[in-house]
Amino acid sequence: MRRDRKIVWHPAGMAAIAGKRVIVVGGTGGIGRAISRLLASHGADVTVVGRRFRDADRPGIAFVPADLGLMGEARRVAEELPAGNADILIFTTGIFAAPHRQMTTDGIERDLAVSYLNRFVMLRSLAPRLGRDRRDAAFRPRIFVMGYPGTGAAGDPGDLNAERRYTALGAHKNTIAGNEMLVINLARRFPGIGSFGLNPGLIRTDIRGNLLGENSLRHRIVETLIGLLAPDADSYARRIAPLLLSPDLERFNGAMFDRKARAILPTAALTPDHIDRFMAASERLAQPWLEGASSPRL
């Protein structure tokens, strides 16, 4: 990643989050859970989406259950979420591709489904509605897409579902590139919304379980080593939270930020033509779950 030194921002105090309505897709574990808990502790009204809720005792956090590996579930929950009243929408859910190709019951490569395509499907419904019913017109609603932007991954729109050739790295690059392109495309198509990419880098979570074997000895050893060398999810949440409400972001729609909340340059290979082809490939793959949707294309 290369720093983008033209973008300078100043943090908003945590008091600014009080009363804000936040939706965290993937907020039941890892980084998403850490962000949700931190924002709720400072007075935000947080709705989390995921498979298992572990914060029922925490005030300020509501739960919407969903299996985000299934596109029908992604569409259903997107249509049910109170996006019109939301100030901030954060996508954090994700996994790593497995050594051998895994498919969901929808026929989608699992990493692509969980880490990217559900976001594409959900944003078809969420982006046009986000924040339109809020009373606070002074704060432009914001979308934050977590992935690994700025790392050079361009993805392959000709083999988005990794059907012709599968490698774990190649499949994961499609999700990395897809999420970065979502941010750029959202900033272009929805200028009334602030859209930003987040690259947390190496953080100790369970995200690598699908690659290393869930709860395997190798998985536990790797995460222990990462914990010695890198920040944990709570530390990352504390570092990134002041960015979420910074008034300076109004001037930098489409910007990307690393784990220290420093602006980074986007991937050079993501030209407008490449983004259009990748979005079109995503549209074709997700079409069975978008039929009947009246919202504009992404």
Q: What is the mean pLDDT of residues 225-251?
A: 86
Question: Do 197 and 116 touch, CB atoms closer than 8 A?
Answer: no
Question: Do 40 and 23 touch, CB atoms closer than 8 A?
Answer: no
143-163 pLDDT tens trace: 999 999 999 999 999 999 999
Q: Tell me, what DSSP letter sits at residue 143?
A: E
Fold classification of 14-204+234-287 (topology level): Rossmann fold (3.40.50)
188-221 pLDDT tens trace: 999 999 999 999 987 766 655 555 556 666 556 6
pLDDT at 202: 72
Band of residue 230 on the pLDDT scale cut at 50, 70, 90: low
User: Residues 203, 208, 214, 220: what is their CA dihedral angle, to the nearest 10 degrees?
Assistant: -50
Q: Which residues does 251 contact at the CB level (< 8 Å), separation at least 6?
A: none
Band of residue 239 on the pLDDT scale cut at 50, 70, 90: very high
How far apart, in whole angstroms, are the C-alpha atoms of residue 84 and residue 133?
A: 5
77-116 pLDDT tens trace: 999 999 999 999 999 988 888 889 999 999 999 999 999 9
pLDDT cut 90: percent of the chain above it? 76
pLDDT at 215: 64
Q: Which residues does 64 contact at the CB level (< 8 Å), separation at least 6?
A: 47, 48, 49, 77, 80, 81
Spatial strand order in the sheet of 142-146: 61-65, 45-50, 21-25, 88-91, 142-146, 194-198, 256-257, 263-264
> Would you call 55 helix, strand, or coil by DSSP?
coil
| pLDDT higher than 70, residue 268 | yes
Q: Which residues does 81 contact at the CB level (< 8 Å), separation at least 6?
A: 23, 47, 49, 64, 126
98-136 per-residue burial string, b: 16 or more CB within 10 A, e: under 16: beebbebebebbbbbbbbbbbbbbbbbbbbbbbbeebee
| H or E stretch covering 64 | strand 61-65
Band of residue 272 on the pLDDT scale cut at 50, 70, 90: very high
Show me where the domains of the chain are located: 14-204+234-287
